[in-house]
Structure 1
Amino acid sequence: MKGRKERFLHEVLLNIRSKEAKEFVHRELSYHLKQSKAEMVSKGKAEEEAEEQAVRNMGSPSDLGQHFNKLYRPRMDWVLLGLFMTTILMGLLPLVNVQEQYTENFLLKQSIFIVLGAVVAFGVMHVNYRKTEKLQWHFLGFSLIILLALSYMPTGRINGESYIQIAGFTINGTTVLPILMMFWASYLSREKPKLLVIIGVYVFTVYLFMLLPSLTDLVIYSVFVFALFCSSSLSRKIIYSAIGTGFGLITAFMLLFWFGTKEYQRIRILAFLHPEDYAENAGYMYLKIKELITGGGWYGNDQPIFLPEMTTDLALANITYYNGWILAGLLIAVLSSLLARMLVVSGQIKDRYGKQLMVGVCALFSIQFLYNIGMVLGFLPIITISLPFISYGMTPTILNSFLIGIALNVYRRKNLVNARKI
């Protein structure tokens, strides 16, 4: 009878393409056959006869295999993939608009970064994310090594922020963010994460970010840790207490910063609030960005204009000026749809680790997207922060492609993983 049972399972698995699905179906069918046999034996049937009947009750192995193949096959989120490809190609627009202002071919470089980003996204998509859950401390250790190296052994600094150059690749604080996200998603998906560990790791990593120093990376990091913390299995009492404490510390820090800040730093804040009063210094950029936004009109402006960061942090202002309000609005709509789609996928995931990964992905993507939009529109102070897939550069392109790869990965396995949770 063992041969009959194994032949049945073998025929079922022949119709299933996914290796992971095969393992799951084999385990589940073996369990159900065992249960069915035990039930019939308890009613007086002989073991051999009970096993034979249990196999027959399963029906056609071919039909069963085809059913499971359709049910558990890895799925592609074509909506998310389409939005990703559309957005990443729109990232060439800012460079097309101003390429003639530069001697170096940044358009070609960004095209290469886009190809690398697509490779990263598809590569990450095909790695079974479930196998990374147990690597949480490896992720943390690797992140700490990079942060310590950036703090104490940088090869250079840009605008005061440390970086390390290796074989043409630049490693900075932003490089560490997705690795830390993997750690926090894994640790905070535990049934009972330890609060002291959470506090200790967070405080130490914040300290290392402050050594770089990188305010933007610190803000992004704190936002996604906060989101993952709030969606963890910790009690609501602990979460609400932590939120209250956090806001209290932020308020105290802002007050200390305001009263302890130097004059030029205070002027920067006042310039954001009243740029016209500081038009000759700190308010200049705010007024120029406003000029770009209003000067684009519906269909764009063909008069050349130069402003620092037109291809990076101010890429949206670039597109608004040269391509017009309609195309800029379309770009914002596409990016909003990309975020909305990832939020929808997050709501479909029952696996705790997969859910936390999606929360981290959405938080890490949204803080970049929303802050950059708010900054360009004049609602938020100017800082160094990229617009996902639109700002020039290898690091932001690879970072956000990695996030899309994670989202595609989790969606790809959602039916199989969700079935395991039933």
Structure 2
Amino acid sequence: MTNIREHFLNEVMQYIKSREAKEIVYKELSYHLEKSKSELVSKAVPQNKAEEQVIKQMGNPSKLGTHFNKLYRPVFDWKLFGLFIIIISMGILPIINADGFSMARQIINIVLGILVTITFMLIDYRKIKKLGWLFLIVAFGFLLALNFFPNAMINGVSIIRIMGFTISGISLLPILLVFWAFYLSKEKPNLIVIYSVYLISVILFMRLSNFTDVFIYSVLVLTLFLSSSINKMTIYKTIGVYFGLLLTYVSVFWFTAKELQKIRLLAFLNPAEYQHNEGFIYLVLKDFRTQSGWFGHKQLPKYYIQELATDMVFANIMYFYGWLVSGFLLVLLSLLFYRMVILSIQIKDRFGKQLIIGVCSLLSVQFVFNVGTVLGLLPHISISLPFISYGLTPCNC
């Protein structure tokens, strides 16, 4: 009778295209058939008849196979893609009023961004799960290259330029995201591995003298750590120790830092007192906020800064296009993150869930700090606005 079951299962598998889906469905149906058969046998039904009856109850194998093929087929989320298209297209707006920046290059970046996004949305993300460790090796390889073999520098930060492409610390975060999503989606991830990989990678990032990357990376790892299957008490203890060490580091840094380093924070608290150095950017942003109006301005502002096409693109849109357009952009970005949160709830696969949570974390922390800086709520640090900043990353400009 086992031959009858195998024949039925093989017929179902013929209608399923994905190899991974075939494995899942085969195990699922085999378990269900065996369980149903055992229930009938326990009611004194002969094994041969029990198996025949269970298979008959499953229905037509072609319909069943077609159903599972649709169920496990990668779904293209048109709502998410539509929001992304509108947002990334708005990246043209800041370049219209910026000097020294190529409109053609920004359009090329937008088109490439759309093509890459379509590719990633169409492929079966489960196929890259097996390559988790490879992603970590590649990321560490580039981090070592940035530390010891950079071929260019931007504002004191090491980068590598290859055939027109720029590799910086922040451009490696998506690669590390895949590793962390893979490893923290395990049932029992090893804490020693987690701590070791995080510490080594943070040390390599800190050697690049770009603490913004360290901050974004730490938020990413912390978010995925919180959403993992690790015991909650262990998570709370780890977070407690982490923030304790962070507080100690900040305290030591404050009392040992040079005056110039302290001025950056003091300028945020009292920009007028430091208007000739670090406070200047805060005063310029304040003028932009007060002068923007609902529909913006056509003439250039009194003080034009290069960051208006890079890190401060939201200020650019706010000043030249007004609160209506900038508010529309904020709504679109908020809807994008909301849609990603909904998807993370709907996806049952732990790896897929971690991937979406990681992407949402990676983008939202940049969104919050960039907009927060422009609105005067947070101190100025070099963080780009997702999908909008010139070159798509801060180091491409």
> Does the TM-score normalized on the shorter chain lie above 0.5?
yes
In the aligned structure 1, how far is the partner of 2:227 from the partner of 2:47?
Answer: 52
Does 384-393 or 89-98 show the bigger shift? Answer: 89-98
- Specify the SS of the correspondent of 2:159: strand
Measure, in 2, the Cα distance between the counterparts of 1:38 and 1:21. 26
Matched-pair contact (CA < 8 Å) for 2:76–2:121: no
Note if 1:71 corresponds to 2:71: yes
Q: Where does residue 81 of structure 1 map in the other structure?
A: 81
Unaligned runs of 5+ in 2: none
1:201 to 1:59, Cα distance in 2 relative to 1, 3 A: closer
In structure 2, what residue type is equivalent to 1:94? P
Structure-1 separation of matches of 2:216 and 2:326: 24
State the alpha-carbon separation in 2 of the partners of residues 82 and 149 from structure 1: 37
2:163 corresponds to 1:167: yes
Aligned to 2:293: 297
Aligned equivalents of 1:131, 1:52: Cα separation in 2: 36
Instruction: Note closer, same or farther for the CA distance 1:31–1:189 as it changes in structure 2 (3 Å cut).
Output: closer
CA deviations on 1:243-265 (whole Å, 9 max, x unpaired) are 22222222222222222121222
Give the aligned partner of residue 317 of structure 1: 315
Match in the other structure for 2:229: 233
CA distance in 2, matches of 1:8, 1:196: 46
Shift of 1:33: 4.5
Amino acid in structure 1 at the alignment position of 2:345 = G
Closer/same/farther in 2, CA of residues 269 and 58 from structure 1, 3 Å limit: closer
Distance (whole Å) between structure 2 residues aligned to residue 166 and residue 196 of structure 1: 35
Amino-acid identity (%): 52
Compute the displacement of 1:3 (Å).
7.6
Code of the aligned partner of 1:133: K
TM-superposed CA distance for 1:65, in Å, is: 3.5
> Given the superposition, is the C-alpha separation of residues 352 and 278 from structure 1 closer, same or farther in structure 2, using an over 3 Å criterion?
same
SS at match of 1:309: helix
After superposition, the Cα gap between the structure-2 partners of 1:331 and 1:8, relative to the gap in structure 1 and judged at 3 Å, is: same
Quick one: distance in 1 between partners of 2:45 and 2:198?
Answer: 61
- Greater alpha carbon shift after TM alignment, 370-379 vs 248-257: 248-257
* Separation in 2, partners of 1:142, 1:243: 28
Residue number in structure 2 paired with 1:407: none
Match for 1:83: what amino acid? L
Cα distance between partner residues in 2 of 1:23 and 1:206:
38
Q: Deviations over 1:53-73 (max 9, x none)?
A: 444333233433443344333
Q: Is the 8 A contact 1:389 1:396 kept in 2?
A: no
Aligned mates of 1:348, 1:59 — CA distance in 2? 28
The equivalent residue for 1:57 is 57
Q: Aligned partners of 1:5, 1:229: CA distance in 2, in Å?
A: 42
- Code of the residue aligned with 2:206 in structure 1: it is M
Moved more, 193-202 or 275-284: 193-202
Q: Which residue of 2 aligns with 1:142?
A: 138
Deviation at 1:78, TM superposition (A): 1.8
Q: Pick from 276, 279, 291: which aligns with 1:283? A: 279
- Structure number with higher relative contact order (C-alpha < 8 Å, ≥ 6 residues apart): 1
In structure 2, the CA distance between the partners of 1:135 and 1:350, relative to structure 1 (3 Å rule), is same
1:192 aligns to 2:188 (yes or no)? yes
The SS at the match of 1:198 is helix
Indicate conservation of the 8 Å contact 1:299/1:323, yes or no.
yes
Pair 2,256 (structure 1): closer, same or farther in 2 beyond 3 Å: closer
SS at match of 2:307: coil
User: What is the letter of the counterpart of residue 162 of structure 2?
Assistant: I
Counterpart pick for 1:369 among 367, 370, 394: 367
Q: In structure 2, what residue type is equivalent to 1:347?
A: I
- Cα deviation, residue 194, structure 1: 2.5
Q: Aligned in 2, Cα 1:69/1:153: closer, same or farther, shift over 3 Å?
A: closer
Does structure 1 retain, via aligned residues, the 8 Å contact 2:384–2:394? Answer: yes
**Alignment partners' CA distance in 2, 1:66 and 1:176:** 40
Among 197, 202, 205, the residue aligned to 2:201: 205
The CA deviation at 1:286 is 0.8
How many Å separate the matches in 1 of 2:282 and 2:342?
35
Of 386, 389, 395, the match for 1:388: 386
CA distance in structure 1 between the aligned counterparts of 2:217 and 2:289, rounded to whole angstroms: 29
Q: Note the C-alpha offset of 1:299.
A: 0.5
Are 2:105 and 1:109 aligned? yes
Aligned counterparts of 1:80 and 1:71: Cα–Cα separation in 2: 20
Which residue, 299, 304, 307 being the options, matches 2:305? Answer: 307
1:336 to partner: Cα distance: 0.8
- Which is further off, 211-220 or 33-42? 33-42
Task: Show the counterpart of 1:332.
Answer: 330
Cα separation, 2, equivalents of 1:170 and 1:143: 15
Q: Which residue of 2 aligns with 1:219?
A: 215
CA distance in 1, matches of 2:195, 2:348: 27
Displacement of 1:381: 1.4
Aligned length: 393
- The alpha carbon displacement at 1:13 in A equals 4.8
Query: Helix, strand or coil for the counterpart of 1:162?
Result: strand
Residue in structure 1 matched with residue 266 of structure 2 by the alignment = 270
